[in-house]
Structure 1
Amino acid sequence: MPLKIAVIIPCYNEEVAIAQTVKDFAAALPEAKIYVYDNNSKDRTIEVARAAGAIVRSEHQQGKGNVVRRMLADVDADVYVLTDGDATYDAAAARDMIALLVNEELDMVVGSRKHTSDLAYRSGHQFGNKMLTTLLAQMFGNTFKDILSGYRIFSRRYAKSFPALTSGFEIETEMSVHSLELKMPVSEYETKYSERPEGSVSKLSTYRDGWRILMTMIKLYRVERPMLFFGMLAILLFILSIVLAIPLGITYFETGLVPRLPTAVLVTGLTILAGLCVFAGLILDTVVHGRREVRRLAYLSHRAPHQD
């Protein structure tokens, strides 16, 4: 049987670019169904997308993460092509990316962006992406060069095992961590990244959304690696308690007295907190192991993508 391919496009106020996006992907993948999920647009995005031939649906909870969660839950396909509705990603690359996914039985192929002009990929966004990608590699181990790309190909088993818990542009970070934590076979494919059509405006705020992505990475590290997270916190608390205790120890050995009682109480409290952090890390590590097994079983309940 031929593969069922779905192109899924989250969209907000993209009246200018959505028709071109739909037409480009329809030409590149004529056998695919193209879904546009509108996220409370205030312009004519819905009418334009429907006129271009897309299946249009709506998600009223604001935020890209909320839209992606709804799309992956509602749409049934063997292969999912996720792209933005701003006509910046190269639709012609989708065929090769799908072939890579199917031939190597991968679960995700990320379209690593190669910008064609400085206007397409602003220097601030490039720096932020590089910094966050490097940080993610240090925290989780990483094979990605572009963790914030919105152009991705998924297998069914990825789509139906991905919880999509974040609500905004941090969704791409969650996607990357999900694949790394379940040790899924993934790859990247370099694609052209073009300038937005005139009149189309980026919804990404460099500083606000960059901060949210950073906080998401820290939260995911705490959730997925609790022993390391709480272990480092315990070490910091214990070192602080030792630093504060040294003058107390010197005074005690010289005089036999502990004159600074509040500091002694603080040292005791910090030491107890360090011990509690260790035990919290051990307990949560067991919980996370069980959760990861459940997610892995949900992932394995679907077959790998392949052409019959």
Structure 2
Amino acid sequence: MSNYSIKDLELLSGIKAHTLRIWEQRYNFLKPQRTDTNIRYYTDRDLKLILNVSLLKENGLRISNIAKMEESEMRDHVIRITDSKTTYPEQIYALTLAMVELDEERFEKIMGSNILKYGFENTMVNIIYPFMARVGLLWQTGGINPAQEHFISNLVRQKLMVAIDSQYVSNSEFKHKYMLFLPDGELHDIGLLFANYLLRNRKNKTFYLGQSLPFEELTSIFEIHQPDFLLTIITSVPGSYLEVQKFVDNMSAAFPKTTILISGPQVVGQGIIEPENVIVLNKFQDLVDFIEEQE
């Protein structure tokens, strides 16, 4: 069981902490616990409840009527809404509930229906990736437990691997060669896997080197395959701005004739100075635009 602060509930549900406190006092459906040091916290049950309340309220139900519902009745309403309405916010809420409840069947249903409606790429860009960004933030701040994060990350990873395997590119038809890797110590690979899918889906040859690659191994593999482009994503390591800038500068110097594409929370919006052969990708659409410009 995870413990959540009221700020965690706000981040996951989109409902302001001030509003949550008012509902808590007026309707008494939130029942915060207290630590030994008298700090308030909320449980998985509270999170599921607030996610359900938020979704119902967004779909026109009055909070006074929602507060009268039994939890089972509330859940039935939510399932009907998420099954019938496939707009992005509803689906992100549904995924959050699937994660909290460790409900693989629900996850598969959400993914299947959205891929059928929007296609795999749009589902990833508009539903899965915003959802995973929220999960990553909560994981880093302790808002969700490792089991919940691992559960949902592995399900998403499985979907990506199946999609990537279906995008075969023969040696006779590829347009450019990209080498993809994560820096030494970096383990968050979902963004890199999705970049691999985008590249292969657009008929590019990829060399996927995966997580936590030591720099010296990158240089030796580079010499063998001579890719046209290098791509990496920095989520958690190196940790500081100066370390990230040093890594970027070292990459630029080691591969001066190669365009290096770099993205991730440690890079985007951090004021990183881009050497001449380095391009910072702020979002996945930037990568799509770059790929298509090379055609």
TM-score range, shorter chain: under 0.3
Question: What is the TM-score of this pair, normalised by structure 1?
Answer: 0.24
Question: What is the TM-score of this pair, normalised by structure 2?
Answer: 0.25
Q: Which structure carries more relative contact order (alpha carbon 8 Å, separation 6+)?
A: 1
Indicate the structure (1 or 2) with the bigger Cα radius of gyration: 1
